[in-house]
Amino acid sequence: MAGGYESEHRRSLEDPEGFWREAASAIDWVTPPGERILDASRPPFYRWFPGARLNTCYNALDRHADGTRATQAALVYDSPVTGTKRTFTYGELRDEVARFAGVLAGLGVGVGDRVVIYMPMVPEAVVAMLACARLGAVHSVVFGGFAAHELAIRIDDARPEVVVSASCGLEGSRVVEYKPLLDEAIAETEHPPRHCVVLQRPEAKAVLEDGRDLDWHEAMASATPADCVTVDATDPLYILYTSGTTGKPKGVVRDHGGHAVALAWSMPNIYGVGPGEVFWAGSDVGWVVGHSYIVYAPLLAGATTVLYEGKPVGTPDPGAYWRVISEHGVRVLFTAPTGIRAIKKEDPEGEHLRRYDLSGLRTLFLAGERLDPSTYHWASDLLGVPVIDHWWQTETGWPIAANCIGIEPLPIKPGSPTKAVPGYDVRILDDAGAECPPGVDGAVTIRLPMPPGNFTTLYNDDDRFVESYMARYDGFYLTGDGGHLDEDGYLFIMGRVDDVINVAGHRLSTGEMEEVLATHADVAECAVIGVNDELKGQVPIGFVVLKAAVERAPQDIAAELVALVRHQIGAVASLKQVEIVPRLPKTRSGKILRATMREIADGKEAVAPSTIDDPAILDEIRATLGRTPRT
């Protein structure tokens, strides 16, 4: 695509069908898109590429394996927790996927059938996902190690024919046995699967149930490889349940055609990654980042993807990421700011990085949590490469706002994910639905229709899809985030709408306060929440994690932080309480659990969500605040 960012973005909004027709040429179609690229007959249920037919697995594997990339690395598996490294070529990965598709087909799985995948970060998880796509089945990946009840809820909602699991996962040095959790979940369900396929790992042996459970390796040994099945572009590829849901989960549905086109377009245009290059998304296949940028996008683009079973720190040290980049020739790393902050906390001077050659690294992309300017500057100075903040959601499946370095790198403004990606028309609306002027915070929305690759509905729940996302502003998707556009059109995301607090009639962004706290030289990471106050309605409380080497008195640092916010934002901020804590409660994907912290601070009974990394952290927060959970 020719032209700079502004012309490409304008063209994508003025002629979306022409823009995405051109992008669709990167995909091999069985039935190419016809005259109509977008079906807008039933808003807000838009459908891209109606009438076109394809197979996503063929585009991710077979066309490369049958062409010039058969011997090129497709997947690099690196597991510091097991000491295992393994590389799969496109030919080898295609053959593994075809054989496991044969296993699933032998169990009766066909087009439209659901398969739940409950696995750790092992190559077999990727194989299982692609095998479903090969058959036209719908996969639903549940983060490995989720509590049995949460898994049961998802099984009952998706009603899978088969669950694919493993005997265990590894959290650092801790072995988490999955099979007992799976058995407990199935016992709780109203709609149990007919079969389970279980990967036996040497760290724990699972007990298999006769007649229901199959051993992965034994099933693979006798399976007949399955060919790709052609499906409609509008058929569902996967269901992904949004993290932290309670009660009836929200199952985000992604289609085949729009998903393939959008992700294939994103690799060269947003990330600047071409065929044969090594791309690493430091995430988990259980999250949307893992779906889009560990599994599908790099393979659609003919790149090499890295699957890492480890942590930014502790497996074994803060140099873990730098080792992977150096050993495997990673050109672009995509991870969460919380991972970089964890490294910064343990190794603020970057001493571990000096042990490795990172000369091949071109770019660091960060998403998942707001990238505070302090972390941006630390990473940028340490790595000496562009650090690109970008913003998107489980529902969108690929970036909404980013610095599209493959089109035209724009000047970076720390704290901003730059501008809307081509295809997205981002608007900031006030409570009445009017557009906010530059610099004024409001609800971040996207004018419909959204581009290909976004969710098409919630699984078996069209009404909730409309109510949760489309009903608030007619003709717009409500992201749930608050923020503003500046005079140059740069987007600033200040946090969830819930993170805007009202202090004595003044609407204040806790995200803005977090950015100020993060500038302090001793701060590794922080969170600010609003708690109820009889006089002012709400007041902010700051929670701060210090860098590892800091030895100063915590009360002195807290006083400096209060003064810093007062100086930068003003007395109106009313931040008078800053607590120094050893760590912050987070989900396994790195999101800080601010809502849960608010409940604790307000004296409510805070139930640890299923996605929490370590429930014991909540007790630490209670102890810090002197709160006792209500019984």
d(C-alpha 336, C-alpha 368), whole Å: 5
Return the residue matching tokens 């849960």.
596
Q: What local confidence, expressed as pLDDT, does residue 507 receive?
A: 59
Q: What is the pLDDT of residue 568?
A: 77
In angstroms, the CA 239 to CA 394 distance is: 11
- DSSP letter for each residue of 368-437: SS---HHHHHHHHHHH-S-EEE-B--TTTSS-SEE--TTT-PPPP-TT---EEPTT--EEEE-TTSPBPP
- Which pairs from 60-64 meet CB under 8 Å and 24+ separation? 60/130, 60/133, 60/295, 60/296, 60/299, 60/300, 61/90, 61/93, 61/94, 61/97, 61/130, 61/299, 62/94, 62/228, 63/28, 64/90, 64/94, 64/299, 64/302
Rounded CA-CA distance 141/167 in Å is 16
Higher pLDDT, 107 or 616: 107
Q: What are the structural domain ranges in the chain?
A: 5-310+390-483, 504-625
Asked which of 51-65, 160-174, 505-519 is least confident by mean pLDDT, the reply is 505-519
pLDDT category of residue 64 using cuts at 50, 70 and 90 = very high
333 close to 361: Cβ distance less than 8 angstroms: yes
Bigger pLDDT: 623 vs 257? 257
| Per-residue confidence band for 631, with pLDDT thresholds at 50, 70 and 90 | very low
566-584 exposure pattern, b = at least 16 Cβ within 10 A, e = fewer: beebeeebbbeebebbebb
What are the structure tokens assigned to 454, written together?
A: 């976004």
- The answer regarding whether domain 504-625 maps to CATH 3.40.50.150 reads no
37, 41, 46, 47 alpha-carbon torsion, rounded to 10°:
-40
**What average pLDDT does range 465-469 have in this prediction?**
95
How many Å apart are CA 309 and CA 369, to the nearest integer? 21
Measured distance CA(34)–CA(17) in Å, rounded: 11
Token pair listed for 220: 């693979």
Cα radius of gyration (the chain): 24
Sign, Cα dihedral of 38, 22, 274, 96: positive
Beta-carbon count within 10 A of 74 CB: 25
> What mean pLDDT comes out for the span 325-352?
94
Whole-number pLDDT of residue 416: 94
* pLDDT tens string 538-584: 888 999 999 988 989 999 999 999 999 888 776 667 788 999 999 99
Cα torsion angle, 89, 91, 96, 97, sign:
positive
The CATH H-level (homologous superfamily) assignment of domain 5-310+390-483 is ANL, N-terminal domain (3.40.50.12780)
The Cα 256–Cα 227 span in angstroms is 17
For 586, other C-beta atoms within 10 Å of its C-beta total 21
Residue 254 pLDDT: 98
Tell me what the mean pLDDT of segment 332-357 comes to. Answer: 94
Contact predicate 186/118, CB 8 Å: no
pLDDT-derived band of residue 612, with 50, 70 and 90 as boundaries? confident
Residue length of the chain: 631
Residue 302 DSSP SS3: coil
Residues whose CB is less than 8 angstroms from the CB of residue 499 and which lie 6 or more positions away in sequence, other chains included = 482, 509, 510, 511, 529, 530, 594
What one-character DSSP code corresponds to residue 69? Answer: T
What is the per-residue pLDDT for 1?
44
Average pLDDT over residues 84-91: 98
pLDDT of the residue at 173: 80
pLDDT computed for residue 601 by the predictor: 86
> Over pLDDT 70: what percentage of the chain?
96
- pLDDT for 187-202, tens place per residue? 999 999 999 999 999 9
User: Which range among 1-15, 54-68, 193-207, 281-295 shows the weakest confidence by mean pLDDT?
Assistant: 1-15
For the cut 90, the answer to whether the pLDDT of residue 338 exceeds it is no
Which residue type does 384 have?
G
Residue 152 pairs in a beta bridge with none
**CA-based nearest residue to 181, from 170, 164, 168, 194:** 168
pLDDT over threshold 80, residue 34: yes
Residue 370 has what pLDDT? 78
Whole-angstrom Cα distance, residue 347 to residue 364?
18
**Higher-pLDDT residue of 129, 614:** 129
Whose CA is closest to 131, among 66, 72, 202, 57? 57
Give the tens place of pLDDT for each residue, 372-419. 888 899 999 999 999 999 999 999 999 999 999 999 999 999 999 999
Identity at 322, one-letter amino acid code: W
In this prediction, residue 630 carries a pLDDT of 41
For the chain, the distance separating the N- and C-terminal CA atoms, rounded to the nearest angstrom, is: 61
